[in-house]
Amino acid sequence: MNVSHMLESQRVRAEIRAGRITGTSRGLAHGFVQCNLAILPKEHAFDFLLYCQRNQRACPVLEVTDPGSPVPNKLAPTGDLRTDCARYAVYRDGVRAEDRTDITELWRDDLVTFLIGSGISIDGALKAAGVPTHKDRWVLRTRLPTEPAGPFHGDMIVTMRWLSPSQAITATQVTARFPFNHGAPIHIGDPAAIGADLAAPLFGPPVPPTPDGIVPVFWACGVTPQSAAENARLPFFIAHAPAHSFITDLPASALMNP
């Protein structure tokens, strides 16, 4: 492929595939949709797709591959789902058993890959509207039950941002325009009202007390389906490692509703 004609998303995937980019995907290939991955044997694919349909705010499915195919034809036709994430988490019996930088050796003909919209994708739209996106942001468990399907179940995982009141209003308007990418907030204000667990964010230290003049705003998070897959205790499934999302060729603006 002629490098000068490559999309930035293609260039970054090639760097990851070659092992030259090994960190998180945050900030990479700005403006392109990033996806969370769930890779499951076909026998569980109906229940998982149904779980996503029933919990669409948290689990916006952007593409599902045919069984055995490592190529997301719609979102990244030159991509390879076995090599193009910088880091994969391999689960056995519901437990994260090992991380890998390449899952080619684990690939099977019955694996179906779900590409699920990541909140990272709308950072650009928020930033353009003057809403800070890289700080004061946490991923939290809540006590909002999701609707189960087959073995998949669990409470909703949310992204919480600390915003000023006017930023909260702007952020609500901006994200409402992305109905296929988590959409508008699911809650605003008191974290206790949805049972958000401030003591144990999924990543990093506990959340400090909310400063005066700050409004916590909560969005459904694409980690929810991964959590549901953990809860299902499947013998085998693979996910992207947190914050190591798959970069697609889809411009983030393509998901924006007018």
The residues that touch a second copy, with contacts defined as CB under 8 A, are 42, 45-46, 49-50, 53-54, 61, 63-64, 66, 74, 147, 149, 173, 176-177, 179-180, 183-184, 257-258
Provide the minimum distance between the beta carbon of 192 and a second copy in the complex, in angstroms, as a whole number: 27
Residue among 213 and 258 whose Cβ is closer to a second copy: 258
SS3 237: strand
Q: Do 92 and 28 touch, CB atoms closer than 8 A?
A: no
**Tokens 């149904």 sit on residue:** 50
Strands in 65-110 per DSSP E: 88-92, 95-100
Provide the minimum distance between the beta carbon of 33 and a second copy in the complex, in angstroms, as a whole number: 15
Provide the minimum distance between the beta carbon of 176 and a second copy in the complex, in angstroms, as a whole number: 5
Interacting residues of 176 by C-beta distance below 8 A, sequence separation 6+:
183, 184
Provide the minimum distance between the beta carbon of 235 and a second copy in the complex, in angstroms, as a whole number: 19
Residue among 116 and 196 whose Cβ is closer to a second copy: 116
Residue among 29 and 217 whose Cβ is closer to a second copy: 217
Residue among 22 and 53 whose Cβ is closer to a second copy: 53
Can you tell me the distance from the alpha carbon of 241 to that of 87, in angstroms, rounded to the nearest whole number? 5
DSSP summary character for residue 80: -
Angle between helices 224-231 and 45-54 in degrees, nearest 10: 140
Residue among 150 and 206 whose Cβ is closer to a second copy: 150
CB atoms within 10 A of CB 83: 18
Provide the minimum distance between the beta carbon of 242 and a second copy in the complex, in angstroms, as a whole number: 25
